[in-house]
Amino acid sequence: MTATTLLSTAHALTASGKGILAADESFPTIEKRFKVLGIPSTEENRRAYRELLFATPGLGEFISGVILFDETIRQKTGGASMPETLARIGIIPGVKVDGGTMALPGFAGEKITQGLDGLREKLAAYREQGARFTKWRAVIGLGERLPTATCIEANARALALFAALSQEAGLVPIVEPEVLMDGDHSLARCEEVTRMTLESVFGALFEHRVALEHMLLKTGMVLPGKECRQQAEVGEIAEATLRCLRRGVPAAVPGIVFLSGGQSDVAATERLNAICAGGGAPWTLTFSFGRALQDAALKIWKGSPANVAAAQAALLHRAKCNALAVQGKYSADVESATV
Ligand code: 13P
């Protein structure tokens, strides 16, 4: 029964022409995003903002699931909890369950994601609250002599424990080892590190007896670092990303979802379109963007109720563009069309 539920959730999350909205910014992250627009990060502003996103008319046409933050899963909208509200409109609620990163002792500049203590109990509570899937993000930074194998392996181990605990609790884990875009590394170096990371993560998942059919992988696209002088064409990015994933991700995994990682929203959509149009992938490919879905909407909203409808239209537009991109049907005309 649990296996059937996990399988159907994993497939529903990667349903054709739909993707996942990541709205699971932690307190420091949402504060940073609000601050540049002069929006105070109060509990009510965070609730109102997430309510705006989830109440976007028609969102369920393009969005299969939403990743919530711990605070949001317990907040209400119109008398119902956020997960109830999402489920009612056919969107699957999920939750970020990691506790953020801390410095990896002995490894200057590297990080380990924390949050395994008490996770079994937390997962049971999240399931009661309506969550059907979970997410854990590990970060792998590139730099001179970085990342180390120790950093990759420590994070892979934590990801595997998180995934095994999630499946035990009847929740589909989204396993997210994010290779960061920060730095001046080349496209080839990003591909190499992504490949090493995937190898380590899937090794740990195998050792911890995680059912690959009942999980999703969340990864970055293979990109040159933000400060790299030689930026890459869309076609090169799609080719490198597909090659890297084909080499590193078993075909038993039902879906791979991309994070946006600091790319502009339009660039993320163009690249997603090229990757998905590439073909020959044994898994379903789709998006699980945070910033690339939300940035335009947040800039319009600015904390004012008067801007809610315009902000929702901006979110719906990005969701639609990305939903077309996963079918390889995105174009400049679609981008410039008004919703
Ligand atoms: P971005 O798309 O903004 O990178 O966020 C996705 C996410 O969930 C990171 O954990």
Rounded distance, CA 129 to CA 138, Å?
25
pLDDT of residue 331: 97
pLDDT of residue 2: 84
Instruction: Give residues with Cβ within 8 angstroms of 119, minimum separation 6.
Output: 97, 161, 162, 165
Q: Which of 218, 239, 270, 320 is catalytic?
A: 218
Rounded to the nearest angstrom, the distance between the alpha carbon of 70 and the centre of ligand 1 is: 16
308-325 vs 265-278: helix axis angle to the nearest 10? 20
Q: Which residues pair with 102 in a beta bridge?
A: 112
Strands of 119-238, DSSP E: 133-140, 172-179, 216-219
pLDDT of residue 339: 59
> What single DSSP character describes residue 306?
G
Rounded distance, CA 9 to CA 23, Å?
19
> Is the distance from the beta carbon of residue 271 to the nearest atom of ligand 1 less than 6 Å?
no
Low-confidence ranges of the chain (pLDDT < 50): 1
Q: Are 23 and 294 in contact (CB under 8 A)?
A: yes
Domain ranges for the chain: 3-336
pTM of model > 0.85:
yes
- Which ligand 1 atom is nearest residue 260's CA? 2
Q: Which fold has domain 3-336?
A: TIM Barrel (3.20.20)
Q: Which helix (H) or strand (E) holds 103?
A: strand 101-103
- Which ligand 1 atom is nearest residue 24's CA? 8
35 is annotated as an active-site residue: no
Rounded distance, CA 239 to CA 229, Å?
20
For the stretch 91-127, pLDDT in tens is 999 999 999 999 999 999 999 999 999 999 999 999 9
Q: Are 221 and 270 in contact (CB under 8 A)?
A: no
329 is annotated as an active-site residue: no
Q: Are 30 and 291 in contact (CB under 8 A)?
A: no
Rounded distance, CA 190 to CA 182, Å?
11
Rounded to the nearest angstrom, the distance between the alpha carbon of 22 and the centre of ligand 1 is: 6
Residue nearest to atom 10 of ligand 1 (CA): 137
pLDDT of residue 279: 86
Max intra-chain CA distance, the chain: 53
